[in-house]
Amino acid sequence: MKKSNLDKQILKDMIYGCLRELGENKDLFYHSSFGQQYSHFHDKGKEPVLEILHDLICKIREVEEQAFEDRKKQETFDALKGETK
């Protein structure tokens, strides 16, 4: 598995940035000053949201899998050195 350059904080910043940009794009999202219940995505905004969501979920999985691999490697090294937890 290729080592990821992403970490959870970078991912959180990416998610926030993506959602912020979507919410500010008037072609994709309608924001009502009357309340959240009147705000919505336009029809042509729904597909980009799904694409972005798909990409972000894949990135989250990548980061989580890399963190798991890193933990397992560290546990193996610790066990080899006799430093089991």
pLDDT in tens, 59-78: 999 999 998 999 999 999 99
Q: pTM above 0.75?
A: no
Distance CA 9, CA 71 (A): 18
pLDDT in tens, 39-61: 999 999 999 999 999 999 999 99
* Contact (Cβ atoms closer than 8 angstroms) between residue 43 and residue 29: no
| Number of alpha carbons in the 13 Å side-chain half-sphere of residue 34 | 5
Distance CA 69, CA 45 (A): 36
Residue ranges per structural domain of the chain: 8-81
Predicted local confidence at residue 4, as pLDDT = 63
Predicted local confidence at residue 27, as pLDDT = 94
Long-range contacts of 33-40 (CB under 8 A, 24+ apart): none
